[in-house]
Amino acid sequence: MPKGLGKGLGALIPGSNTISTASENMAEKGFGIDIVISKIKPNKYQPRKEFDPVELSNLMASIQEKGIIQPVSVRKIGPEQYELISGERRLRACRELKKETIPAIIRDVKDEDMLELALIENIQRDNLNPIDEATAYKRLLDEFSLTQDEVAKKVGKERSTVANMLRLLNLPFKIQEYVSRGTISAGHARVLLMVDEFDLQEKLCASIIRNGMSVRQIEKIVSDRNKGEIINIKKAQNKDVHIADAEKQMQYTLGSKVRIVGKKKGKIIIEFYSMEDLNRIFELIQGVGKTQ
């Protein structure tokens, strides 16, 4: 194979810092070409607000080993100036790796399509968190005057799914943040929506987090309350003694707060307070795995 093939236009034309019209035509036809990263502005319609540092680190390692497998997509907004349509995680990873260019496909899209494409890519590729997803749906409704039916068709969802996601935005901001981080699930949040008072919603949310209560447990509390019965949070929580013991052992080993949510099926939540703390915990977990 001739030297330079597969390395992009910059490798074939040394010293060239511009993209020719012919090259842009190739990019518009679906052929990825290398674009200078500093020439790409972020997507102002990007629905994702939270970017998992561990996932980003894993992506950087993959790019270092295998390169960019899927080009990002951009639209032209001026001479040698572009706006990102989709692929922000790849773009961020390349910036962190100090790469000068990134493979890209140039597409001619309107503002409405920018949000739609970014939303769809995040839902399908990156597991967009429920609050960011709901916020993106609301932007489609508010900024482009779409109906819930139209939004549902665009993203390939049932109208009821879109409506239920939008309802999450009625929760207090503090609870929305917990849902965004995965501290409580969207299932927990939907149950909290059955409570009218913000103060009680926050009190129940705090109990879910503190005691690792399941959706079923919180449903029972809210159902009893809506029937006029007195809420008894302590009676409903009753964390399994073995789970509580496992939490204490993990907290001792990792030196950080650990919560185990669920019994037969659930998740382990490990808190960290800085990137250094996250790296410390990651190294401890790796070390434990290697000794097994």
CATH assignment of the domain containing 105: 3.90.1530.10
Residue 4: per-residue pLDDT: 38
Please give the tally of structural domains in the chain: 2
Is residue 101 situated within a structural domain? Answer: yes
Instruction: Please say which residue of 93, 109, 125 terminates a domain.
Output: 109
Tell the residue number behind the tokens 């990792």, with chain if given.
254
Q: Which amino acid is at 116?
A: E
Sort strands 101-106 and 72-78 into parallel, antiparallel or unpaired.
parallel
* Residue that terminates a domain, selected from 109, 131, 147: 109
Residue 149 located in a structural domain: no
Whole-number Å distance between alpha carbons of 160 and 251: 40
Is residue 56 in a domain?
yes
Q: Quick check: pTM over 0.95?
A: no
Q: Which of these is catalytic: 88, 121, 133, 247?
A: 88
Per-residue pLDDT of the chain (292 residues; tens, 9 = 90+): 343 334 443 333 333 344 445 455 544 544 578 999 999 998 887 777 677 788 888 889 999 888 888 899 899 988 889 999 888 889 999 999 999 999 999 988 887 777 777 777 766 665 678 998 899 888 888 888 889 999 898 888 899 999 999 999 999 999 999 998 888 999 999 999 999 889 889 999 998 888 888 898 899 888 888 777 665 555 545 556 677 778 778 877 887 778 777 666 777 888 887 788 788 888 888 875 554 4
Helix (H) / strand (E) element for 72: namely: strand 72-78
Task: Mark out the alpha helices in the chain (DSSP H runs).
Answer: 9-12, 21-28, 53-66, 88-96, 111-126, 130-144, 148-155, 159-167, 173-181, 186-192, 198-211, 215-226, 233-237, 241-254, 275-291
Nearby residues of 259 by Cβ (< 8 Å), 6 or more positions away: 209, 212, 247, 268, 269
Would you say residue 46 lies in a domain?
Answer: yes
- Does some domain include residue 60? yes
For residue 57, how many C-alpha atoms fall within 13 Å in the half-sphere facing its CB? 7
Nearest 5°: the CA angle 20, 90, 185 is 145
Q: How far apart are CA 205 and CA 81, in angstroms?
A: 46
Shortest CA distance to 31 belongs to which of 99, 117, 114, 104? 104
125 occurs within a structural domain = no
Q: Is there a catalytic annotation at residue 88?
A: yes
DSSP annotation string for 113-167: HHHHHHHHHHHHHH---HHHHHHHHHHHHHHH---HHHHHHHHT--HHHHHHHHH
Strand 266-270 versus strand 40-41 pairing type: unpaired
Whether residue 13 lies inside any domain: the answer is yes
**Domain extent for 269:** 240-286
Q: End of a domain among 109, 133, 157? A: 109
Q: Is residue 144 part of a domain?
A: no
